Amino acid sequence: MGFFEKVYEVVQTIPAGKVMTYGQIAEILRIDARIVGWALHANRDPDTPCHRVVNKDGRLAPNFAFDGEKEQKRRLVSEGISFKQGRVDLEKHLLG
């Protein structure tokens, strides 16, 4: 199994209403956080909840599929994720 598939496997464990950071996933897999970003950008499986991955400050991905961070935010809000000052409220929603 390649690194990308391992990233997808971890991402699929993030429940609705929670998020993880690129760094958390990288730490679990012992890889560079950039590889996590590359994997998520390359994902083509709509069942992999890539929208639940944010940066260490709760910022959204500007290059998220379709309508960029607007779409990522729409998906997160639909799952009950709240925001503070334009960022995911990590105190409430960070998994781990």
Q: How far apart (Å, rounded) are the C-alpha atoms in residues 18 and 79? A: 9
- Are 49 and 43 in contact, with CB atoms under 8 Å apart? no
Q: How many Cβ atoms from other residues are within 10 Å of residue 22's Cβ?
A: 21
In the beta sheet, which residues pair with residue 54?
A: 21
Tens digit of each residue's pLDDT (9 = 90 or more) over 21-61: 999 999 999 999 999 999 999 999 999 999 999 999 999 98
- Are 36 and 4 in contact, with CB atoms under 8 Å apart? no
Q: Which residues are known catalytic residues?
A: 50
Backbone angles phi, psi at 4, to 5 degrees: -60, -45
pLDDT of residue 66: 61
pLDDT of residue 64: 67
pTM greater than the 0.85 cutoff: yes
Backbone angles phi, psi at 64, to 5 degrees: -60, 145
Pick the CATH number of 3-90 from 3.30.70.20, 2.60.40.10, 1.10.10.10, 2.30.130.10: 1.10.10.10
pLDDT of residue 8: 98
In the predicted model, is pLDDT for residue 65 greater than 70? no
